[in-house]
Structure 1
Amino acid sequence: MDLALRQQTLGWGERVVLPDVTLEIRKGERVALMGRSGVGKSTLLGALQARAAGRAAVVAQDHGLVDALSVFHNVWMGRLADHGTSRNLRTLVWPNAQERAAAEAALARVGMDGLQRRMVASLSGGQRQRVALARAILRGGMAVFADEPVSALDPAQGDALLQSLAAKFETSVMVLHDTGQALGFATRIVGLKAGGIVLDAPVAEVDAARLMELYG
């Protein structure tokens, strides 16, 4: 699953955020997008996601959860596109044992097992991130696109969950800010400053000091 942008101008409406972007993501890579807030990381992530062929999972920065529903129903949203309206309505009212078991397996991978019946509105920020990650894991696919997916977790928890995603998805593209997590998770770093990409290198060729220059 290779993704490519060729001299693309990216932005919102008439606002140009990243002009003349050329970037290719190859199958099997784990790419960390890094840089200060507002330089276009989320815009670039969205453009790459839009070009992904086949099944892919998404972890949005705002989690994309529905507070009025339970943890189970928010996780099961990862499978809604796989079924018709009647099946989805039945699952909303009366999920069966197989559906609950699938959601529980995904929740167990993010440390949220046993909490299917909790209402999402009652969760902490870190728990909400875990639910969003469980939904991506349940959805599955060849790639995951994630925007600061572990920002509300402590570094050790975040590291563990990033490794869970690496084990589940062959290709990953993520916005990350923690330099240690990026160096530990990614195989490639793409760094942005205002106006475009200023760093694109294998992780073996960069260190924390060089990554911190992106935030200067």
Structure 2
Amino acid sequence: MTRLALQNAVADYGEGRVLGPLSLALAPGERVALVGRSGAGKSTLLSVMYDQWRDRGAALMPQELGLVPTLSVFHNVYMGRLDRHPWWRNLLTLMRPRRRDVEEISALLERLGIDDKRWAPSGELSGGQRQRVAAARVIHQGGGLLLADEPVSALDGPLSEVILTALTEAYPTVVLAMHDVELALHYCTRVIGIRDGSIAVDEPSQRLSAHDLLTLY
């Protein structure tokens, strides 16, 4: 992946400006945390990034997850690669999954601690379980850049670490919108603090502490 940049990016909601103008650049291999209070503009910034970079291999894990409730966990994860297969193979997989796909996805679900729900409809799962399914889907999708909006907000400490480790190992370059600044500092190499739609902090993680970021909240 080559260097990615936003230049004077803005976003409006109705007649109001909710983001920017702001500029930033991502270097290949960076793991970036977007932190700040709810409504500061983190999700909007991720959406702008995805709109700009989706044709350059960006994958998105949205906060609303986007799972299909009536489909099984397996099929929701399989959907991460729908565009890589012809329509007829996807249709056949809906009715009779191929062994190779089942084995690959089962291994991923096992790593995330949810393989026992492989054939359960995603609509029957808890919030934390659905979040793990969405994480599995975006890992299965793959690509050069992951944009994830609060990927572990419904998970406890140990599971949060399992998911964040899996996500950051699956993609060479990562941008995570997060509320937990301790996790942000641990898993990311750079922290961008958003306040009122603007960049208030942009520093390497090693130069920051959780206390340094309290002014954003």
Tell me the TM-score normalized by structure 2: 0.94
Shift of 1:147: 0.3
Q: Does 1:86 align with 2:88?
A: yes
Shift of 1:54: 3.3
Shift of 1:191: 0.3
For 1:109 and 1:137, the matched residues in 2 are separated by 11
2:79–2:137 CA contact under 8 A, matched in 1: yes
Q: Where do 5+ consecutive residues of structure 1 fail to align? A: none
Q: Where do 5+ consecutive residues of structure 2 fail to align? A: none
For 2:110 and 2:57, the matched residues in 1 are separated by 22
User: 1:176–1:85: structure 2 CA closer, same or farther, 3 Å change rule?
Assistant: same
For 1:57 and 1:101, the matched residues in 2 are separated by 23
Percent of aligned pairs with the same residue? Answer: 45
2:50–2:59 CA contact under 8 A, matched in 1: no
Can you list the C-alpha shifts for 1:119-149, whole angstroms capped at 9, x where unaligned? 1111111100000000011111112110000
2:41–2:194 CA contact under 8 A, matched in 1: yes
Give matches, 1:55-74, under 5 Å: 55-74=57-76
Shift of 1:13: 5.4
1:57–1:137 CA contact under 8 A, matched in 2: no
Tell me which amino acid in the other structure corresponds to 1:145.
L
Aligned to 1:6: 7
Tell me the TM-score normalized by structure 1: 0.95
User: 1:106–1:200: structure 2 CA closer, same or farther, 3 Å change rule?
Assistant: same
RMSD of the TM alignment (CA)?
Answer: 1.4
Q: Does 1:18 align with 2:16?
A: no
Aligned to 1:140: 142
Tell me which amino acid in the other structure corresponds to 1:27.
P
Aligned to 2:133: 131
For 1:169 and 1:24, the matched residues in 2 are separated by 17
Q: Does 1:97 align with 2:99?
A: yes
Aligned to 2:166: 164
Shift of 1:14: 4.4
Aligned length: 215
2:70–2:121 CA contact under 8 A, matched in 1: yes
